[in-house]
Structures are given as C-alpha cells and as structure tokens.
Structure 1
C-alpha cells in the first residue's frame, strides 16, 4: 500500500476519534445542565404543590423556601458542567429566585451558603471569584428585592434578567482579573451567560404563571363560598319576610282608635322594629349580590370629606390624626349609600388598626387613564402577604370581634361598580388600600 494512502486512512481515523470525543463531551455538558435545571425546578414545584397552601405562617414559609432553594443551590454546585477545564453551574438561578421571592433574610442565608459550600469544594481562585462576585452584587440584588415584590409580571421578568446579567458580568470580570484568560474561555463564559439569561427568563415566567394559577384557584374557591352565602341569604330572606309581613298586617289591624295610648305606643314600636329588621335583611342580601340599581353621578371627593367629618369625633377619641388631599374632579357612577358604607368600613378599619394612635392619610384624585383613585393609608399593625391574600374572604378577620363580612362586602361593592382594590402592607409599618373606580363622563 502506498505511503500516502496509509496516511490518508490514519488522518480519517484520527478525525473520527476526535469527532467522537467532541460529541461525548457535548453530551456530557448537556446532561449536566439538564440535571441542574431539574434540581432548580424541583423545589419550585414542591413549594407550590405542598407548601404554599398548607403553611399560613409567613416566617415558616420563608424558612421552608430558604431550605428548598438552599438544597437546589448545593446540588447545582455539586454537579457542575465541565467545559474547557472550567466549572459551569447555574447557582445564580436558585440564589436570585430565592432572594427575590424569599426576601432579605433568605438572600443573606443563600449567599452565606454559597460561600461556605464553595470553601468546602476547594480553597482556590474560584473561591475568591465567588466571594468577590457576591460582595459586589448582593447589595444590588437586595436593593431590587422590594421593587421586584411590588412589580407586575412583565417588570419582574425584566428585573430578574437584569440582575442575572449584572451578577454574571461581574463574575466574569473578577474571573478575568484573577486568572489568565484566553479567547476560548471568554467564548465559553459568553455562552454560559446567554444560557443563564434564558433559564432566568423561563423560571421567573414559570413561577409567576404558577402564582397566577394559585390566585385564580383561591378566587374560584371564594366565588364558591360567595355563591353559598347568596343562596343562604335568599332562602332566609324569603322565609323570614313571610311571617314578618303577616305580623305587620295584624299589628296594623290592632291599631284601632279605641285602644289605649300605651298599647298604641307598643304597636308603633313593633312596626318600627319590623321595618328595621326588613332593612337588615336587605343588607344581608347585599352580601350575596350587591345591587347596582339606581346608580348616579357621585362626587367621591365630597363623599369622602363628608365621611371624615362624621368620623371626626371618633378619630379624636382614638388619638388619630387625619391628613387629606382631595381633588374636586372625582366623579363616578355609583350608589351613594353603598359607596358610603364601603368607605366608612375601610376608614374605621384603618383607625382601629392603630391602638396607640397615629395618622391616617386619605386622598382622592383622578388618574391619567380615565379612573379616579381613592387612597387610605394608615400607620397600623400592618399585614403579612398571606393575610393580604385572604383579606376580603368570607368570615376572615384580623379583629378579635370581627366577622370578616365587612371587608368582603366592601370589596363586592367596589367590584359591582366595575372598580378594583389594591392592598399593600408591611407588618408593624402600616397598610394602604387603593380603590380605582371608572371616572364618570
């Protein structure tokens, strides 16, 4: 066989072997990353499936959340993908998700866990890179945690992507500073960065969708409870009204001129009390289905000011000061009595949430999108996120003597006027309730 033929065959075999090795390495890297993705998704599904509905205490939920994301973080660091002699893992995903959704305490715990576990893996240049990257980026991540918590879904995704990009770029910068890098290693880091951004986008969107599904399920459950209340109130109203009407008729027949004045007085009082009971039944029916009949053009600013004037003596007795900022151009279509009932209930709750006194801010102003905004803010005991989620549910109240029906009917009244209610609160800081109603033309 000629020599050039042997060399040609040898080159082909060598090319095949190198190609095979390259395929095996790529499959190994893909397998490692798929394993890490599974270890990230697992705690998320465990939390939403088993933890979120069962644990009502906010601190317990945060502890469980820290434990789940901590395990995910350790597993990601334990099974890295090796490319060009570099360890590549997705630790930023559980670190960022745990901090943004768990809060300041969870973020600090996860950051400390990353440092300790990286020290356990090895005290080398990678350890210094990890520590410097965390010291540089964690203050920024913790700063954005509160805005992230209050943001809407689309903005949350943008914040998460921005923070993951910031963390990864800082990590690459420290990596290049502490090591001698090549173009190949920078290419690997760039691919790793793009993959992290894609994973962060996916898991943030997935988590938000799961939260929306959970919220929809709670609303469906509340709708079922409200339907039961509606059916019960309808039945009771029908059954109670019949004997009341008969009794009222007989009392009217007894009201003859030859009866003594004392008996006439008793009959008059009985009729008044029956009329009062009839009004109570009408209010009871409102729990099931708020009436939107007889709506008229209402100046909410004037109505709010009138309520505050009526409650002036009550606020003074509770050592509460009221600060107002009311615009004159706050017109909406509503039933004045029902809107009055709703605002009185919310204002009384704000006043009663401050047993040691404080300040209530009440404002009303038109927005730029065809709505009017009513804001009632206090310095009371505040609520946790779980308590906010249950606010307005039937028979749920934070007051010892409360029935939980007051806020439920207030929310129902606002919805019957095609409005929305937003509640923000922090424990021991205060609560703000924002009511948005369509502006009348």
Structure 2
C-alpha cells in the first residue's frame, strides 16, 4: 500500500507543469514559454526527488527522466541541460549508496533523450512513443541498478519490475499527452480569437468606408464651390473651415479604428472608460447606421478610471457593441443604449438592446468557448471579453428575454486618480 501511495505521489508531481499551465495561461492570449517550462519542470523535479520512491535508504527512484525529457521537448536543449544540472546538484546533496549509479543512469538517459526528443515532435504515434520512452528509461535504470547492486535488485524484484516501469511509462504518457492537448487547445483558441477579431474589424471597416464617403463628398463639394468662385474670400474661408472639420473628424475615426485593430500588448495603465466610450461611439456609429440601429451612449462628465490594458478594453467594447447592434439588425427601430456610472466604488457599464434576446439556456452558456447565438459565429469574441474582464477583477451579468432584448452589466474595479 505504501508503494501505491508513492506511485500516485510521483504521478502527481509529474503533472505539475500541466496543472500550472492551465492555471497560469487560462486567461492569456499567448502560449507557454521556455521560462515557464524551466520553472515548472524544476519544481516538479525537486518535489519528485524530495519525495521519491525507495525500498532502502540511499537508493531512490522517481520520475526525473520523464521530467527532463519533457523539458527537452517543450523547452529545448538549454532547458534540458539546466534540469540535468539541477538533478546532479540535488542528487549529490541527497547522497546515499545509490548516488553514483543515479548520476550514471541520468547521464545515459539524458543522452538518449537528446537523440530522440525531436522524433517525438515528428511522429504521428505520440502515445506509443511516450510509453516506449518510459519503458526505455526504466530499462536503463534497472540494468545499471542490477549491475551495481545485484543482491538488492533480486531481493526487491517486484518493486523494480513493476513499480519503476509503471511510474515512468504512466508518468510519461499522462504528462506528454495532457500537456500536448492543452497546448493544442490554446493554439486553436488564440487562432480563432484572432480570426474573430479580424472578422469584427472587417465588418467595422466596411461601415467606416461607407461613412467616410460622406465627409469626403462634402469636402469635394465645398472645394468645387471654392474653385468656381475663388474671389469670394469670405465664403472661401467659411468653406475651408468646414472642410478642415470634416477631414479632422474622418482622421480621428480612422485613427481610433487603427488603434483598435493593432496587436494587443501586455501593458496595464489607468484607462478612462468614459473617454473610451466616446471614442467607441464615433467608431461604431457607422456600423450601427449600416444596420439601421440607433446607438445611444451616456457617460458622466467626470473621469471613470480602471486599471487595465487599453487595447484589450477597446476590443471588449467593440465585441459587446457589435453583438448588441447585430442583435437589433432585424428589429424595427433597433436601439442600443450604453450608460456608465460609478456605484459603491465600482465602475458600472450597462449595455442594453431591444434585439432578439436569449433564453435561460443561452444565457448560461454565454462566454463558453465556441458557443454563439449567431448561426455564423464562434462565440470567441465574448469568450475573450469575459476573460479580459475577469482577469482585471471585473464581473459580467446578463438579463435577457427572447424578442424583448438583452441587458449586460459589466462591473470594473474603480481606480481613483
């Protein structure tokens, strides 16, 4: 029973990189890094060696080879060498009769890993390959253990032939399979989220192009009037002033559109949501007009600040406003209403529409990956938005009825200036 407990404990330690990946990268729009692999693998290796399996003191077995192979596959040769150095230093510190043979086994196992870790990336039979790698690590360890300690090996034959191969093969298969699946899912999520953003921006761009024609037409008309009567300086000055205003308005809208469509960064700073909403009104109004929807934005006269990434908050607002407008596209006198206020130390943003609405089942699934109320949607726009809001400590609540409309209440932690 004690050996079973030790086996389960070793499997738990080998899963540390997988568990920490799903915790740390859950709300991030990027995948793992070499530093993350090194840190999590180092923690896993240290704990596995500290609470290793052993029949007698001084001769210990753990999942070190699995962890070093994992570090090589996902972190590269530098990560693998650092993990090997950590093992050597810590194993010498632990000491015991098995220290020398443990160092020999690890050098050989690491050399084998160096030869085979690239094969893992190219093979289509990854499950079989990881199981065979676990068996290979066990075979190397058992052969050398028998060579150095034949009597000890024979006396504890079942432990060496059953427990050690099981913990290496099972540990290798579970860690590599689960981590590979998580990394693949994260890559798919990032790709779809980026595609969703591109699709949203293309829709907004189409409406902007339509809207930009209006001031350009006005500018063209006034320039023609100036050309026809250049001697009338009073009217020329008046016409030039109108032209400049139209050009500046167009330039401001296009600048904000480009700011929204640029790649996201990791910076966090004070964001004035009230000012941002005014910008969003200018950017999204053409999109609302294109769908015959009235867009009404109410903001307080004072600043309403939150601590966040401004690019992410812009994208969140675009996602919510775009969805609300599209929900009203087939409704007579469609209307989207946004209001911002500060209540009990919180910044509260309400987004209401009189669109098609949702039922209870749809509301419960909002924010879930790949769920969308639109036939052509992926749902990743709202999934991303929910992640951004939750990451900065905010919350989202929704109230909706079919054929009546939807109300989103987004609460952000308010920041004093």
Range class of TM-score, shorter chain: 0.3 to 0.5
Q: Which has the larger radius of gyration?
A: 1
TM-score, length basis structure 2 = 0.47
